[in-house]
Structure 1
Amino acid sequence: MTSAPGFTCTACGTRHDETPLHYATPAPQYWLPEMESAPGCLLSSDQCVINGEYYFVRGLIEIPVRGTDEMFSWGVWVSISRKNFGLTNDRWETPGREAEPPCFGWLSTELPVYSPTTLDLKTRVHTRPLGERPLIELEPTAHPLAVEQREGIGRDRVRELAELMPHG
């Protein structure tokens, strides 16, 4: 791969000026459009509740790009317990919230570029300072996403992900 910014995509044939370093999903995998007006359901840019019994927060899985100071990230949703959702919500606007210990969660975003599925991977949700989304730390398993988070990825993998993800 050249050091020039951008790439020519082998999937769409177009020259892109930048290689994206972030992808995100707008809602947890379990959210359906008809839930928008359903009682007990809420979807904001950072929090989600389904049927008043399933609770989700949006966060980032960060992956170091080896040989650079760049970070690749996946914007994902994680389900957490009702108790932890309440604590997170109570501290949402509280300075110093990042001092709280992380909580357990289940990854609730399907990232189609990974096999096996990314759904229901075990995570730890680390609250960060105001204005920053939580850091999602995957359980250190042999799942390819967990390995990439631990070991980082090269620029070629960043380009490969760009070609595999919808873009235009």
Structure 2
Amino acid sequence: MAEDFSCAICGDRHDSLSRDWGYGLPDEVWALSEEDREGQVRFNDDLCQWGERAFIRCILPVPLKGADDYFGWGPWVEVDAEVFARYLELYDEDGREEPPVPGKLANKLEAYPGVTLGTRLLIQFQDPGERPILTLLESDKSRLAQEQRDGIDAARHHEILEICKA
């Protein structure tokens, strides 16, 4: 993607666009009242526990065509207790050699109406200081899975930001 481009969506020229969109909490947790969240949920920027449920904040990269970069969705993923415990063990260590582990999407991505809460994906742990990377399953035929495999152009990048109101 060139630094300066003419947008097919709005017709304006842009120098660059935001390259990420993150979520503060899993959707179900965010839907709780503030009082319930404070009383029932433990969370920080990377980890969330709500009763017996555990969540990890990750990055779901979608390559940007023509650039050595990606648009990074920052959703939360629900994981089993064993996966959560292993992530905690590796939190300050390099987890890139670990095999991918399963998770379920815990945020609705507004730009992808066909992708729902609970969509199954794989989580690859990373270096300390880097959030785990998400990959949609090979069997997933959604637009998001296709764009993660093939990348998006500048016009689609802008469209995503317009949908998210970024």
- Tell whether the structures are fold-level matches, with TM greater than 0.5: yes
Pick closer, same or farther for the CA change 1:44–1:160 going to 2, 3 Å.
same
Choose from 98, 122, 138 the match for 1:124.
122
Pick closer, same or farther for the CA change 1:74–1:9 going to 2, 3 Å.
same
SS of 1:62 mapped into structure 2: strand
Using the alignment, how far apart are the partners of 1:78 and 1:7 within structure 2? Answer: 32
Give 5+ residue unaligned stretches, structure 2.
none
Give 5+ residue unaligned stretches, structure 1.
none
Question: TM-score, normalization: structure 2?
Answer: 0.87
Q: How many residues align?
A: 162
Find out whether 1:135 has 2:133 as its counterpart.
yes
Find out whether 1:27 has 2:28 as its counterpart.
no
SS of 2:77 mapped into structure 1: strand
Find out whether 1:90 has 2:106 as its counterpart.
no
Percent identity between the two aligned chains: 28
The residue number in structure 1 matching 2:71 is: 72
Amino acid at match of 2:133: L
Deviations 1:37-93 (A, max 9, x none): 224x21110000111x11000000001111211211100110010011011112111
SS of 1:123 mapped into structure 2: strand
The residue number in structure 1 matching 2:99 is: 101
Using the alignment, how far apart are the partners of 1:15 and 1:49 within structure 2? Answer: 43
Map 1:12-23 to 2 at 5 A: 18-23=16-21
The residue number in structure 2 matching 1:45 is: 45
Amino acid at match of 1:143: S
Question: TM-score, normalization: structure 1?
Answer: 0.86
Shift of 1:34: 3.1
